[in-house]
Structure 1
Amino acid sequence: MRRLAALLRPVRRAVLARRRLIAAVLAAAAVAAGLHAATAPPPATVPVVVAVRDLPSGTVVGSGDVRTVGFAPGSVPAGDVTDPVGRTLAAPLREGEPLTDVRLVGPSLTDGYPGLVAVPVRLPDAGVAGLLTVGDRVDLVAAEPRGESARVVGSGVTVLALPRDDAGAGSGPGGALGGRLVVVGVAPGDAARIADASVRAYLTVTFGG
């Protein structure tokens, strides 16, 4: 041990003699590292439009409802929409959630429902429409204005969207105004019959057991 201490003594003296120089070198290295971190370019991002607040289904997206944030490459969701202003939400959207095509009323509504087509129908009773949520499966029942027997025109149809439209923007049988627009997913062979019933008869829904 004494021999080892004797060998290390000159090294210790040399370090102590140059401690100010070593400290200056270390300080300069720390400053250089900090400057490099401060001047390094920010990581690459991709602009994505997200909701600035929780938005309910049927909202017509306004410029104040969305903002653009940067997403890391590879994390951008499929079907992101760059200009959703003026379009209608088919489903609720959480604050910070990206706007994608399946969240908006349009052709992409049926992406998650292979084999179905989207058909807009108007339910004369807005209160009945208010009971629905996106994803519900219901039967569409048509009642003729002249008192003829009601009939089922669509069984197990899927509610795809509940747009918030002006109650006076549409008309029912006989020119009556009001109701609520509902977008449903139906088999292609049922689309014409349901569309015809929606303009000739009063539509309502029943919930299956």
Structure 2
Amino acid sequence: MADETRRGPRRWRLPPPGWRRTVALRRAAAGLLVVLALGLLAAPSVAPAGTPVLVAARDLAPGVALGPADVTVRLLPGELVPAGAFTEPGAVAGRQVVGGVRAGEALTDVRLLGPVAAVAAAGVPDAAGVPVRLADAGVAALLTPGTRVDLVAAGADDAGLVPADPALLAPGAVVLAVLPAPERTAGSAPVVVVALPAALAARVATVSLREEVTVTLR
């Protein structure tokens, strides 16, 4: 009591002018933040913009058979998605690449062995791809996808002699792929896949079963 007597009566300080307004504004801001947070939680998740497209996960050599490590899915703007693009890895599993493919390049139907690639290469609607086992491995080493060649039957006759004038089987065939060496059967001749019109494709396929075939480069 003695201390209070010395200090005198306690004085109450009045709040500063406008404090009620400040408190009201703070409460309103806090309420707004709560509403925004609840709205964000209730809003449906937005999917990333773009179209899923299958692209090469790494540089691919010509003729390689595609596996899970070779492809990945990437989102591309709709206007950048090429025609014939694949979207599912299962659609290309085991299929072989026509020509080399760079990492990040979209995989389309014309980049894989098949009827679409054959039509695009040969330039005729009934084209087909024909696997041909060449007589000379050295010739296969000179071929790359896109090379235009003439297919020639060069089989030996019954006496083991090669005919003087080999038969021209198909002029102007386009090489689609050269089967990589590790995928060939041990000791077998190299296999080249060429694109030809349907009539010539059937002829070449039949002849190559019984005779050796070689090519001349154009």
TM-score, with structure 2 as normaliser: 0.68
Residues 14-163 of structure 1 mapped to structure 2, 5 A cutoff: 41=46, 43-81=48-86, 82-83=88-89, 84-112=92-120, 113-115=123-125, 116-146=127-157, 147-149=161-163, 150-163=166-179
Tell me the C-alpha RMSD between the 2 structures: 2.7
SS at 2:110's partner residue?
helix
Q: Report how far residue 117 of structure 1 moved.
A: 2.5
Q: Report how far residue 95 of structure 1 moved.
A: 0.9
Alpha carbons 1:49, 1:67 under 8 Å: kept: yes
Counterpart Cα distance in 2 of 1:121 and 1:86: 20
Counterpart code for 2:113: V
Counterpart code for 2:179: P
Counterpart code for 1:98: A
Alpha carbons 1:90, 1:163 under 8 Å: kept: no
Q: Say how many residue pairs are matched.
A: 169
SS at 2:151's partner residue?
strand
Q: Report how far residue 41 of structure 1 moved.
A: 4.8
| Aligned equivalent of 2:197 | 187
SS at 2:168's partner residue?
strand
Counterpart Cα distance in 2 of 1:187 and 1:76: 30
Alpha carbons 2:119, 2:195 under 8 Å: kept: no
Counterpart Cα distance in 2 of 1:75 and 1:139: 37
| Aligned equivalent of 1:201 | 211
Counterpart Cα distance in 2 of 1:127 and 1:80: 35
Change (3 A) 1:167 1:45: same
Counterpart code for 1:206: T
Alpha carbons 1:89, 1:163 under 8 Å: kept: no
Counterpart code for 1:168: T
Gaps of 5+ in 2: 1-28
Gaps of 5+ in 1: 1-27, 170-176
Counterpart Cα distance in 2 of 1:189 and 1:86: 28
Alpha carbons 1:121, 1:181 under 8 Å: kept: yes
Q: Which runs of 4+ in 1 moved over 3 A?
A: 39-43
Percent identity of paired positions between Structure 1 and Structure 2: 42
Alpha carbons 1:124, 1:178 under 8 Å: kept: no
Q: Report how far residue 60 of structure 1 moved.
A: 0.8
Counterpart Cα distance in 2 of 1:202 and 1:106: 24
Counterpart code for 1:63: P
Q: Report how far residue 111 of structure 1 moved.
A: 3.3
